[in-house]
Amino acid sequence: MKPLDLGGPRLRLLVVSPHPDDEVLAAGGTIARAAAEASVHVVFLTSGDGFGCGVRLSQRVLCPRPENFLSYGRERMEEARRALGVLGLSEEDITFLGYPDGGLEGIWTGSRAYPYTSPFSHCSTVPYEDALSPGAPYVAESIICDLAKVMELFRPTVILLPHPRDTHPDHRFCALFTLTAAAQERRGEPRIPQLFAYLIHAGIWQVAPVLWKKKALRPPRRFLKRNCTWYTLTVERCYLNLKRQAILQYRTQLEIVAVFMKNFLRPNEILSGIDISLLDRLSPVWRPHGSEVLSVIPPAAVELQR
């Protein structure tokens, strides 16, 4: 792995997170450092409102109803605000899009004529009044427009997005939505943000024994075989402490997956490079008034940098 330093006062770091907590697990130290020196914005595609096990535990209900899932989503949004506050971000540095947890693949592959309906919240439009576009239908165009709007307003120099080969579907499709929005933003824009991918879910790797926590994080072997470039970012002790405090704000998640979450408390964070030419290849798939063009691009079409 190559050492990478994103630092510098000119850095404008945009972190795209599928669920509240991914941003802190993958890049809490990097966010804290960037917040102290430069500008950071975090955008959440979903509010994590489809985690049945978490809803039952948090809401103390055996058979959760749609309102329980929505209440849980609001709770997770509050946790995200607190966690990012610990890392030095304010309310203005955070955007929630409010799309459905567990539904990003369904939205990507679905039809714009029939918005996706969440089996948990039963919503087919963004239900959260404090999201970027309340009432936006659950269709691919809504997500891409929202992400493009965030990019246009924040003008990032670096974007962190989920790894396109993460084993969680929401993460893979969050990557595709982000790449598509970045491709759209790129048109007519000479300044191109650097893109890096972070990994959260990858089988046994994600639950590596806590005994390893003092060791530097490394990508799973099978991710190295593809010869993509991986980078390591040092997390100094002061920022690691902030990351630990930020993780502790995600109480609803710690109740269920504490070992998994604490596994990311390491002296480094890792990112994979993404070939910028991907943007050119993805660009033509976006048609503002097209029909099902988006659905023809499977996740496998996204290859990482050699």
Residues in touch with Zn ion (CB under 5 A): 18-19, 22
Q: How far is the CB of 171 from Zn ion (least distance, A)?
A: 6
Closer of 93 and 101 to Zn ion (Cβ): 101
| Residue closest to Zn ion (Cβ) | 19
- Bridge-based pairing state of the strands 94-99 and 39-46: parallel
CB-neighbour burial class of residue 272 (10 A; exposed 0-12, middle 13-18, buried 19+): buried
Q: How far is the CB of 4 from Zn ion (least distance, A)?
A: 23
- Bridge-based pairing state of the strands 194-198 and 268-273: antiparallel
Neighbours of 133 (CB within 10 A): 17
- Bridge-based pairing state of the strands 268-273 and 230-234: antiparallel
Q: How far is the CB of 236 from Zn ion (least distance, A)?
A: 26
Closer of 171 and 186 to Zn ion (Cβ): 171
Closer of 121 and 253 to Zn ion (Cβ): 253
Closer of 19 and 81 to Zn ion (Cβ): 19
Q: How far is the CB of 18 from Zn ion (least distance, A)?
A: 5
Closer of 166 and 185 to Zn ion (Cβ): 166
Q: How far is the CB of 191 from Zn ion (least distance, A)?
A: 29
